[in-house]
Amino acid sequence: GAVVSQHPSRVICKSGTSVKIECRSLDFQATTMFWYRQFPKKSLMLMATSNEGSKATYEQGVEKDKFLINHASLTLSTLTVTSAHPEDSSFYICSARPLTSDTQYFGPGTRLTVL
Amino acid sequence: QQQVKQSPQSLIVQKGGISIINCAYENTAFDYFPWYQQFPGKGPALLIAIRPDVSEKKEGRFTISFNKSAKQFSLHIMDSQPGDSATYFCAASNREYGNKLVFGAGTILRVKS
């Protein structure tokens, strides 16, 4: 149980385009989902907290107009990287927290490469 | 005060040995302490977690030891295997802060066969 999926697993795009990443909790409902960014050999950096039906809360220094987050249902959150540039290339990981748990379950991650 | 300090940065252990990773925190409001294992190119996977009212928790070869007064907790991997070679992250969270995880910097474990 507690499976979180992400799609796509890998994406390559041209500079200036937008990319959407989906995060789904497959076997549980999650009022809260989190989006992280991870650089090579580094820890996870929280970008934003996404609550179903409300606006996402962004961490300090994260541009909310660049990283659009939508949490449309209890099982789906999306991250859209708008007008992507090479510096946005990174490993993006989502996590989801079941309704009655403190545990976050992570997705497999999405490798974004912006050319 | 929101930091979680993790050590060592990297660790090499012989097969069958014990791997020990330590973490320390400052914020006494933290009430949940999970450990995650991450393989290259994959998302972190929950290994084991503990709350401050318990001093030790064991699941298979993995044990968390928790010292509330010292504000420290550690992961012990018994009978370490080459398949345990991965990056390990400790973390801490608090319900009042929205369950946001504060991660340690990570420990790269290599188990030599």
Three-class secondary structure of residue A109 per DSSP:
coil
Q: Which of A102, A107, A108 sits opposite B32 (nearest CB)?
A: A102
Burial A45-74 (b: 16+ CB within 10 A, else e): bbbbbbbbeeebbbeeebeeeebbbebeeb
CB contact under 8 A, B44 and A93: yes
The string of pLDDT tens digits covering residues B5-34 is 999 999 999 999 999 999 999 999 999 999
Contact A23, A79 (CB under 8 A): yes
Amino acid identity for residue A35 in this structure: W
Quick one: pLDDT at residue A54? 86
Q: Which residues of chain B make contact with A107, given a CB cutoff of 8 A? A: 43
Pull the structure tokens for residue A55: 């606006």
Of A43, A57, A97, the CB nearest to B106: A43
In angstroms, rounded to a whole number, what is the distance separating the alpha carbons of residues A20 and A5? Answer: 14
Query: Average pLDDT of A31-54?
Result: 93
How many residues appear in chain A? 115
Of B70, B61, B51, which Cα lies nearest the Cα of B5?
A: B70
Return the percentage of chain B with pLDDT > 90, whole number: 94
pLDDT at A13 over 80: yes
DSSP state of A58: E
Q: Is residue B103 less than 8 Å (CB to CB) from chain A?
A: yes
